[in-house]
Amino acid sequence: MSASLEQEDIVSESKPVQAQPISAPTVHLTSLPDGPPSPQLSSREVEVLLAWILSDTKGDVCRRLFIAPGTVNTHIGRIREKYSRVGRPAPTKAALLARALQDGYISLDDI
């Protein structure tokens, strides 16, 4: 009987503990750590790449930027070549988007 009284005393004297929130540090990467270097894209290449990512077709890019279809293809081709040269091929539109985000050429707010 005394054991159960001791347990009741312990329970009645316990107080709730306020948990402290844990916050993880925010890390913003502009390039891959310890990885291959980022290619050096020109501001025009970034502009064309972003327009292409935001468009359904390359024709939409032509109308938006007032350039010819061949110019769009040339810019996209050069961007792909630059990524291949640094060992990070980007054969698809999704891969180019991922690379541009990883390298800080565009942000999620841009898209």
CATH of the domain at 83: 1.10.10.10
Q: Give the percent of the chain with pLDDT over 90.
A: 62
Band of pLDDT at residue 111, cut at 50, 70 and 90: confident
pTM for the structure as a whole: 0.66
How many CA atoms, within 13 angstroms, populate the side-chain half-sphere of residue 34? 0
- Specify the pLDDT at position 73: 96
Find the domain containing 66 and state its range.
Answer: 35-111
Task: Classify residue 10: in a domain, yes or no.
Answer: no
Cα angle: 58, vertex 46, 53; to 5 degrees? 40
Q: Let me know if residue 26 belongs to a domain.
A: no
Q: Is the residue at 105 inside a domain?
A: yes
**Phi-psi region for residue 19, left (φ > 0), alpha (ψ -120 to 50) or beta?**
beta
Q: Is residue 1 part of a domain?
A: no
pLDDT in tens, 42-90: 999 999 999 999 999 999 999 999 999 999 999 999 999 999 999 999 9
